[in-house]
């Protein structure tokens, strides 16, 4: 973790007490991110991607959530640990230093307010000015994210926009205060493929313009390959592998990542290759299995001696330069099963 990292997450644990028991949604999550860099967090539903990002934003209800660990923002004024900061401090950072866009832009925009009013509100919360300044700023932002006729459309309501345009509005709203960190929670999942590409391009352009750190949460490995610098693979609330994007695709170091990559259809192997699946289901987060959470589904656990996989939780360890994995297999064993 170098000094120029903007965001540092250390041993983040998020759990929810429920009637059935404690749901360990995220455990032991550690990563860091510099401005201008994109980290993709991938994993299936319920693997803790969104829960972790909401914890970074401080959007969990503190009374009903157990959160431990550290979330550090390295602001120009100095470092700040968010989990131990007051709610007011974190709220002031939200929308200003760190912003978030969500999966479904229709339900994420308020149906009763014009898009201009919603963008202006985000600006006015963190800047001095009156409503017409806010509206002016909203028009600028709509223009920046490529909404045609922004002067007229600023008064329109979310339902008068198409899905892709709504996501552009969300992006305009998130970026109105020039944040240093943008968390994009499955920003293209609800959109069709051509619009997906446009939105990703827009995000990349905006990243260049504002020099933002981006956390891209997705389960689409195609989007990851196209967009991310580094990838964090999550399984059952833990990050099981972290690597630069090329290394992850060409030298995966965790059996789960391996399984994921083998289950993706490839254009060049349609006739020769049957798609593989990962047998079984992800474990319940209430009673996580002893040892490695992936062990019950792992085809290689016999390679590890002494039933280590089902008794001891593997630590995140170096597989190669900048490449971490959470697995008991040795480097050579991984190389051989790949």
Partner 1 sequence: MLKFVSRRLLSSLIILIVISATVFIIFNYLPFDPARLACGKHCTPEIVSGNRHRLGLDVSWWMQWWEYLKGIFVGRTYGQGAAMFTCPAPAFGYSFNQHACVSTILASALPVTVSLAIGAFIMWMFLGVGLGVISARFRNTWIDRASNIFVLVGTSLPTFISGLLILLFIVLKFNLISPLDLGQWHSPLTAPWEWFTSFFWPWLSLALIYAATYTRFTRSNVIETSSEDFIRTARAKGVSERKVLWKHTLRPALAPILTIAGLDFAGLLGGAIITEQIFQLPGLGRLTLQAALQDYDLPIIVSTTILAATFVVVANLIVDLAYAFLDPRIRVK
Helix residue spans in the chain (DSSP H): 49-57, 87-93, 105-108, 115-124, 131-144, 150-153, 163-175, 193-210, 221-227, 245-250, 255-262, 308-311, 331-337
Nearer to partner 1, 99 or 236 (CB): 99
**DSSP character at residue 229:** S
Applying CB under 8 A, which part among 104-112, 207-215, 270-278, 315-323 lies near partner 1?
104-112
Nearer to partner 1, 8 or 97 (CB): 97
Q: At what angle do helices 131-144 and 163-175 cross, to 10 degrees?
A: 120
Element (H, E) at 302: none
Measured between alpha carbons, how far is 311 from 289 in angstroms, rounded to an integer? 9
Smallest gap from Cβ 195 to partner 1, in A, equals 19
Candidates 16, 65, 70, 91: give the one binding partner 1 (CB under 8 A): 91
82 binds partner 1 (CB under 8 A): no
Smallest gap from Cβ 161 to partner 1, in A, equals 12
Applying CB under 8 A, which part among 67-75, 105-113, 197-205, 214-222 lies near partner 1?
105-113
112 binds partner 1 (CB under 8 A): yes
Smallest gap from Cβ 7 to partner 1, in A, equals 16
Candidates 70, 104, 143, 220: give the one binding partner 1 (CB under 8 A): 104
Nearer to partner 1, 93 or 334 (CB): 93
Which of 184, 178, 207, 199 is closest to 36 using CA atoms? 207
Measured between alpha carbons, how far is 40 from 241 in angstroms, rounded to an integer? 12
Give the phi and the psi of residue 182 in degrees, each rounded to 5.
-120, 125
Which of 115, 104, 110, 112 is closest to 161 using CA atoms? 115
57 binds partner 1 (CB under 8 A): yes
List interacting residues with partner 1 (CB under 8 A).
Answer: 57, 59, 91-96, 99-100, 102, 104, 107-112, 114, 121-122, 125-126, 157, 159, 170, 173-174
């Amino acid at each position: 973790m170098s000094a120029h990292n903007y965001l540092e997450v250390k041993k983040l644990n998020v759990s929810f007490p429920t009637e059935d028991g404690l749901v360990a949604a995220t455990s032991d999550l550690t990563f860091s991110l510099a401005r201008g860099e994109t980290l993709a967090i991938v994993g299936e539903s319920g693997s803790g991607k969104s829960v972790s990002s909401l914890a970074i934003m401080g959007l969990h209800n503190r009374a009903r959530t157990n959160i431990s660990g550290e979330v550090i923002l390295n602001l120009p004024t100095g470092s700040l640990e968010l989990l131990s900061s007051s709610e007011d401090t974190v709220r002031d950072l939200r929308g200003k230093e760190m912003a978030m866009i969500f999966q479904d832009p229709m339900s994420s925009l308020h149906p009763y307010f014009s898009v201009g009013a919603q963008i202006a509100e985000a600006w006015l919360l963190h800047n001095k000015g009156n409503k017409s300044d806010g509206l002016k700023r909203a028009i600028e932002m709509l223009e920046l994210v490529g909404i045609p006729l922004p002067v007229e459309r600023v008064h329109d309501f979310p339902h008068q926009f198409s899905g892709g345009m709504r996501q552009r509005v969300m992006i305009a709203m998130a970026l109105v205060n020039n944040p240093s960190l943008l968390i994009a929670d499955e920003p293209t999942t609800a959109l069709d493929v051509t619009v997906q590409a446009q939105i990703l391009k827009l995000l990349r352009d905006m990243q260049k313009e504002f020099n933002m750190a981006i956390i891209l949460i997705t389960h689409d490995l195609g989007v990851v390959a196209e967009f991310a610098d580094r990838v964090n693979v999550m399984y059952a609330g833990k990050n099981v592998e972290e690597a630069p994007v090329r290394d992850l695709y060409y030298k995966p170091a965790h059996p789960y990542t391996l399984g994921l990559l083998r289950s993706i259809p490839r254009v060049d192997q349609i006739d020769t290759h049957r798609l593989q699946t990962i047998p079984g289901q992800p474990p319940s987060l209430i009673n996580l299995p002893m040892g490695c959470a992936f062990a019950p589904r792992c085809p290689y656990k016999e390679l590890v001696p002494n039933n280590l996989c089902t008794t001891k939780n593997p630590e995140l360890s170096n597989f190669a330069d900048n490449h971490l994995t959470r697995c008991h297999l040795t480097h050579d064993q991984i190389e051989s099963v790949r």
